[in-house]
Amino acid sequence: MAEAGIGLVGWERALMAAEKVKERLRRATRALDAAGIPYAVVGGNAVAEWVARLDEDAVRNTRDVDLLIRRPDFSSVKACLEAAGFVYHEFLDIDVFVDGPQGKPSGGIHLLYAGEKVRRDDDFALPQIDESERAVEFQVVRLEALLLMKLTSYRLKDKVHILDMIGVGLIDATWPARFPVPLGDRLQQLLDDPDG
């Protein structure tokens, strides 16, 4: 009987963790919207926004919030997020805002910079802020720009996110032609063999 109780507590904690990420996302984007600072939600939350438009049951949780901003806006973004209760840290060369003094970088708000490469050896730079659109609660990167980011990074979690988007029908066999080599080839491989 004790093991069943532990599982239930673990499940409840997982739900609470997902809600905390959503709360951080809302608090940060509302603050940026109120200040009139351009941004776009990217990463796992952007994938969730797009996937949920077709099938909310296919949405995966993510542990952090990734925001695309313009580098010249960094000081304004920093002041805005700090006023909303976030604490700035530079962590492994990433600008991160944790949720209060006890926050963890792994669950924080991670900034990415429009038009720049995440890693020097990336083939493609991140999209511009204007490659986004308004969702109900926040500005989100457009689907094609999001897919370009995922195909460029192409880690295991990026592949899983792409497969989620394929699985709900956001991306089909017409999409690889939209991307240059090697990105179109990577997408074609996932379309051809979704099980790896």
- CA–CA dist 138, 30 (Å, integer): 8
What Cα–Cα distance (Å) separates residue 3 from each residue in 9, 11, 12, 15, 16? Answer: 10, 12, 14, 19, 20
Strands 109-113 and 65-69: what pairing? parallel
Give domain limits for the chain.
Answer: 2-141
Contact 36, 79 (CB under 8 A): no
Query: Residue 36 region, left (φ>0) first, then alpha (ψ -120 to 50), else beta?
Result: left
* pLDDT tier at 8, thresholds 50, 70, 90: low
String of b and e for 118-154 (b: at least 16 CB within 10 Å)? Answer: eeeeeeeebbebebbeeeeebbbbbbebbbbbbbbbb
* pLDDT tier at 6, thresholds 50, 70, 90: low
Of 150, 154, 110, 107, the closest CA to residue 127 belongs to 150
* pLDDT tier at 16, thresholds 50, 70, 90: confident
pLDDT over threshold 50, residue 165: yes
- CA–CA dist 162, 156 (Å, integer): 10
Predicted confidence (pLDDT) per residue in 118-157, tens digit? 999 998 999 999 999 999 999 999 999 999 999 999 999 9
User: What's domain 2-141's architecture?
Assistant: 2-Layer Sandwich (3.30)
Model pTM score: 0.92
